[in-house]
A and B are shown apart, each in its own frame.
Chain A
Amino acid sequence: MSFALLLAATAAIVAPPAPSPAPSIDYAKMVDEAIDGGRMIQAEAMLGQWRMAPQPQDLPVMEIATARIALANGRTAEAETRFAAISQGGSTNCRVDEGLGVARLRLGRARDALAPLQRAVDNCGDRWRAWNALGVAYDAAGSWALSAAAYERAFQLTDRPAQILNNYGMSLMAQGQPDRAAAIFDKARELTPEDSRLIANADAAYVMSGRDIQRRPADDADRWARRLGDAGRVALRSGDMVKAQAYLSRAMTESESFQSDAASALATMGSAKP
């Protein structure tokens, strides 16, 4: 009796809970979608789960996912090395070419980025990130018509239009068309009004096109003063001394705190006077 009881107790402790049938998860697809969606925490967590029970055919795909995560997390040099190794191994995956091109762009190697990016858009014409990166690469080469066409394709495909508008606006600025750039930045700001990068770029376009920047209701005194200071420096760089002095002076007077950048820019102007 007691032996049987002990046996039953042992069995109850040792027996694992009935395994529930695990739903089949397409990790490759899920991780890719998470990376594309900018959900890096999800992507890394799923990659970790995937690595616990990989199938032999999964290993190359996992390597691509690892490289993409490195790129998305800002480890650009590591990503470039990984993508290059995968590409040299004969991979024709569009994500590899796209990642390699983007990594090389970020490393300042725009000329080396062109070939993989062109391969990416040739093989996968629906990859807006590849078109966008190709536009940036063409900008670096001064091929404005090609870059405009690439941005156009990216803009029609993307779910993040503000990003493409920003890059196209920068392209127009580089082409010396600040009027058109300002119009593009305004459109982008309608989509993401609080994006500080867009605000700064739009201010620069406004100043370069001879228009005044406007204070937004959300700007407190210090933020507005910083924008005025930045506008002053853009005017200074453009050679418009009168406007530069006006903006920098307003940055000093309208701020509730000392604006050291504006003060030093004003001092530079003062010392530059004959």
Chain B
Amino acid sequence: MKRRIVAIALIVATTACSSMNRQVAVRPLNGEAGAAAQDALARGDLLFGRGEHALALDAYRRAMRKDPGDAHALNGVAISYAAIGRHDLAREFFELALARAPQDQRIYRNFARSLTAQGLRGEADALLAQMSGGAPRVANRPTLAQLSSVRAPAAATVRVANGGLERISMGEVRLRTTTSTLPGRMTPQLSAAIVTVAEDGGSTPVVSLSRELTAPIARLGRQAVATPAVATAARAKPIVAVANDADGCAVAKGMRLRATGYTIDLITSRADADAAGKCPSLAGGEDNDARFERLWARSGGRG
């Protein structure tokens, strides 16, 4: 009985396999996770290129779950966090990406930009110096003795921009500033200037000064104040700058993101590389490099 069942099963199996009309596709089962990770990476690249950084982050994280050691996914998560201003979270993923691809200069540059955006210029310079294999460039500094020489404290009035607008009528507001003459003490001071606010029919109010402001205007760092026209232009188009390194390869100067003003290294143009394509590229081969190239080309960063 058993022999008969085995014989029937063999015949059925042989018959099924011998069909010449059926196409049989054979693929390894363990390749599914890899394919899903590649899909998620491609989606992340696409979304990041469109400026949809939160969605790109989700896609990159999905790719990272499939392949936790993929430097492309880790770098994608990092730049997405950096693009939405979460440099604290970006740092962990930049470090993990560097651990997986320690010779990828683009990860170094992106990480350095994130550090610079946090005001950590020294750390960024040190990182870039490590990337290029040299000692960090240390500026000629005065000596500690020179720095510690005591100067008389300046008696100048300290002005602090801590005021605000106070509405006087439907059409007028008064600009209030505060002045501090004593350290730690601020005295409110009402300026005499009247600022007229008029509506131009659009959603954005137009502010015009009815007369010259006499109140002191505090300077907030060295940040330039953008005029509305300049700001609109800046929103319309990311700013891209490219330069060539000593080897003639395109090196990224970065793309400034619209929302946060944060710059990302988004160039991987190899058009001007030598015949063998020997420009510095992502460790791990041409595959990964091509993926980065797609990401950066879609992001409008190609020079």
From residue A148, how far is it (CB to closest CB) to chain B in Å? 7
Q: Is the CB of A215 within 8 A of B144?
A: no
Residues 35-80 of A at the B interface (beta carbon under 8 Å) = 37-42, 45-46, 49
Do A23 and B96 form a contact, CB below 8 Å, given A212-B183, A217-B161? no
Cβ distance B33 to chain A, nearest Cβ, rounded Å: 13
Interface size in chain B (residues, C-beta < 8 A) = 51
Shortest Cβ distance from residue B166 to the other chain A in the assembled complex, whole angstroms: 20
Instruction: Please state if A214 and B184 are interface contacts (CB–CB under 8 Å).
Output: yes
CB within 8 Å for A156 and B98 given contacts A12-B27, A179-B150: no
Which residues of chain A are within 8 angstroms of B14 by Cβ–Cβ distance? 2
CB-based contact A159/B125 at 8 Å: yes
Q: Is the CB of B127 within 8 A of A37?
A: yes
Q: Measured between alpha carbons, how far is A6 from B10 in the docked complex, in Å?
A: 14
Interface residues of A in 207-233 (CB under 8 A from B): 211-215, 217, 228
**Restricting to A179-195, which residues have a CB under 8 Å from any CB of B?**
179-184, 187, 191-194
Asked if A45 and B95 sit within 8 Å, CB to CB, the answer is yes
Q: Bound complex: CA of A156 vs CA of B162, how far in Å?
A: 38
Any B CB within 8 A of the CB of A151: yes
Q: Which one, B102, B123, B153, contacts A38 given CB within 8 A?
A: B123
Which of B18, B92, B153 has the most A CB atoms < 10 Å from its CB?
B153
Q: How far is the CA of A215 from the CA of B125 in the complex (A)?
A: 31
Which residues from chain A contact B99 at a C-beta distance below 8 Å? 34, 41-42, 45-46, 49
Which stretch, B59-67, B135-143, B230-238, touches the partner chain A? B135-143
Complex formed: what's the CA distance from A39 to B148 in Å?
32
Q: Nearest residue in A to B102 (C-beta to C-beta)?
A: A30
Chain A CB within 8 A of B276 CB: no
B186 within 8 A of A: yes
> A131: CB under 8 A from chain B?
no
Complexed CA–CA distance, A34 and B95 (Å): 9
Complex alpha-carbon distance, A13 and B32, angstroms: 12
Given A37-B130, A214-B158, CB of A184 within 8 Å of CB of B144: yes
Q: Tell me whether B17 is interfacial, beta carbon within 8 Å.
A: yes
A83 within 8 A of B: no
**What residue of chain B has the Cβ atom nearest to residue A182's Cβ?**
B150
Q: In the bound complex, how far is the Cα of B161 from the Cα of A250, in angstroms?
A: 22
- Given contact pairs A2-B18, A159-B125, A212 touches B182 in the complex (Cβ within 8 A): yes
Minimum CB distance partner of B287 in chain A = A20
Q: How far is the CA of A180 from the CA of B119 in the complex (A)?
A: 26
Q: Which of A1-45 contact B (CB under 8 A)?
A: 1-2, 5-6, 8-9, 12-13, 20, 23, 25, 30, 33-34, 37-42, 45
- Closest CB in chain B relative to A46 CB, distance in Å: 5
A184 B147 Cβ-Cβ under 8 A? yes
Provide the residues of chain B in CB contact with A162, threshold 8 Å.
Answer: 122
Contacts of B284 in A (CB 8 A): 20, 23
A223 CB, min distance to chain B CBs, angstroms: 13
Q: How far is the CA of A155 from the CA of B145 in the complex (A)?
A: 11
In the complex with contacts A41-B99, A214-B183, A12-B28 CB distance below 8 A: yes
A215 touches B186 (CB 8 A): yes
In the complex, what distance in Å separates the CA atom of A12 from the CA atom of B25?
11
In the complex, the chain B residue whose C-beta lies closest to that of A247 is B184
**Given A156-B141, A183-B151, A184-B148, are A2 and B122 neighbors across the interface (CB < 8 Å)?**
no
Verify if A158 is at the interface (C-beta below 8 Å from B): yes
Q: Does B1 contact A (CB under 8 A)?
A: no
Q: Which of B102, B147, B162 contacts A25 (CB 8 A)?
A: B102
Q: Does B29 contact A (CB under 8 A)?
A: yes
Contact sample, A vs B, 9 pairs, CB 8 Å cutoff? A8-B26, A23-B103, A25-B102, A34-B95, A159-B126, A159-B129, A168-B144, A183-B148, A183-B151
Give the A-binding residues of B (Cβ under 8 A).
13-14, 17-18, 24, 26-29, 91-92, 95-96, 98-100, 102-103, 119, 122-123, 125-127, 129-130, 135-136, 138, 141, 143-145, 147-151, 153, 158, 160-162, 180, 182-184, 186, 283-285
Closest 6 CB pairs of A and B: A45-B99, A2-B17, A42-B95, A41-B95, A180-B148, A212-B183
